[in-house]
Amino acid sequence: MSIKNDLVRLGKKEKFPLHMPGHKGLRLKTDTTELSMTDNILNPKAGILELEKAIANIYGVKNAYLGTNGSTGLLMSSLLYVGKGKKIVLPRGSHQSIYKGLIDNGQEPVYLKNKIDMLGIARPIKAAKYLPFMGLVDAAIFTNPTYEGYMEDYSLLKPFLKDKISILDGAHGSHLYYISKLINNWMSLQVHSFHKTLGAMNQGAVILSNTETDFREFANFYQTSSPSFPIMLSIEDSIREMMKMKIENRLKEIEWLKKEINNIKGFKVIDNDDPLKLLITIDKNIKVKDMVNWLEEKKGIFFELATDKYMLGLLSFYDSKGSYDWLLKSLKSARKHFKLSDEDNTESLVESDCYIPEMKILPGEAFFSGKKEVDIKDSKGLVSGVLYSPYPPGSPLIVPGEIIDEYVIDRILSYRGDYTGCSGINNNRIFVIK
Ligand SMILES: Cc1ncc(COP(=O)(O)O)c(C=O)c1O
């Protein structure tokens, strides 16, 4: 039994789809719905259940549940599972989906400050930082690896988390199991975006669970009632492909690529813990964004992210050696074009704590309070009614219930009106609590 077999059998049998979706197979043949020959993600009994069991087995947990709303939907399910009004310790640099869960469930956050390094990258919270809060909270949330590929080993906290809910935001870590890096399968819940670092299509995600009771009800809560079969099939395919892949060879190629980039003067690969995350700084006299724009326009190379200090590329087990050669050739051309100097860039050193505005009321309480709109310039001292998370990576600058101060105003205005991921800021106006 497999999702693929179900879809192949259906494809051979079906003459007239008298069901949704309305494109009737025109867009994509596998984009079908729950029928007698296919399974149902909300109550799986056939191919989907088989896949979930196989994933649980590979990742060494009790149960696995597929999701087609990305890690976002499944992280929100995890917070629902923690329960209304509970107290949760979490990194301030957590993804916005976690804040949406906090709001939905009226939970009380206890924030841990991420260290921000010289490149402006939020580093993972050290395990010891959680320790003082273990007696005070109902649940703890961890992010591993971070968006930029940094990791922390939280296993020393295992004994302290026995009677608590531990949740891993492993959105960027679905591949770690295949390269034997920091396996967190002891946590209560782990959420992985199979579309980020494995071969699934966008939105394909999985939650791994060690909870005593069945997590299905929670996994289903934010699940669309029209789940995508192509996405589920791509999760299944990605697992099959990982089983066949010669990962060692792929890792050697990645190592080789990073070494070769370092050999091009003017470029420097920054050390991190995740081989798939390619962090590059360049000659300080050249703007990173100019370099990235040139690589896009002239060479067709598109990076995941560019800040004024570094560029971040996502490597994958699906990359070809030809693409790596093209990248190296293009960087060499860029070196000539921009006349990069031979000077080395400084190492990334840990610099400061991330900034957290003062919390006046709980995020959930603020979100549902009466609001009014004011000019951002006049909002100093007022209580935010919005969640503002510059993207990527989508961790918030301000959370509903926090006091807007000068730092926040400066940062919001410096985004030049691009309030991506925030519905409460428009035309330099922000919603605040009345
Ligand atoms: C750390 C982290 N968690 C969760 C998510 C949400 O993942 P998804 O895009 O699969 O919903 C992201 C997305 O960028 C992320 O960076």
- What is the per-residue DSSP string for 231-285? HHHHHHHHHHHHHHS-HHHHHHHHHHHHHHHHTSTTEEEPP-S-TTEEEEEE-TT
Round the average pLDDT of the chain to a whole number and report it.
93
What is the spatial distance between Cα 181 and Cα 71, in angstroms, rounded to a whole number? 20
pLDDT digits (tens, 9 = 90+) for 166-208: 999 999 999 999 998 777 899 999 999 999 999 999 999 999 9
Q: 366 with 400: CB under 8 angstroms?
A: yes
Between helix 47-59 and helix 229-244 the angle, nearest 10°, is 40
| Residue bearing the bigger pLDDT, 344 or 405 | 405
Class of domain 3-244: alpha beta
pLDDT band at residue 113 under the 50/70/90 scheme: very high
**Ligand 1 atom with the shortest distance to the CA of 73:** 11
Mark 168-180 as b/e (b = at least 16 C-beta within 10 Å): bbbbbbbbbbbee
Q: Which CATH number fits domain 247-337: 3.90.79.10, 3.20.20.10, 3.90.1150.150, 3.30.70.120?
A: 3.90.1150.150
Q: 375 with 428: CB under 8 angstroms?
A: yes
Least confident of 73-87, 329-343, 391-405: 391-405
What is the spatial distance between Cα 206 and Cα 224, in angstroms, rounded to a whole number? 15
| Residue bearing the bigger pLDDT, 277 or 390 | 277
pLDDT of residue 181: 76
Residue 430's CB is within 10 A of a number of other CB atoms, namely 28
Q: Is the CB of residue 281 below 6 angstroms from any atom belonging to ligand 1?
A: no
Return the DSSP state at 230: H
Greatest pairwise CA separation for the chain in angstroms:
66
Mean pLDDT on 235-248: 96
Is 364 in a helix, a strand, or coil? helix
Of 69, 71, 123, 203, the residue with max ligand 1 atoms within 8 A of its CB, to mutate for a pocket test, comes to 71
Domains 3-244 and 356-433 share a fold: no
Q: Where are the domains of the chain?
A: 3-244, 247-337, 356-433
**Ligand 1 atom with the shortest distance to the CA of 391:** 14
| Residue of minimum CA distance from atom 1 in ligand 1 | 95
pLDDT band at residue 344 under the 50/70/90 scheme: low
Give me the CATH topology for the region 356-433.
Ornithine Decarboxylase; Chain A, domain 4 (3.90.100)
The model carries a pTM of 0.92
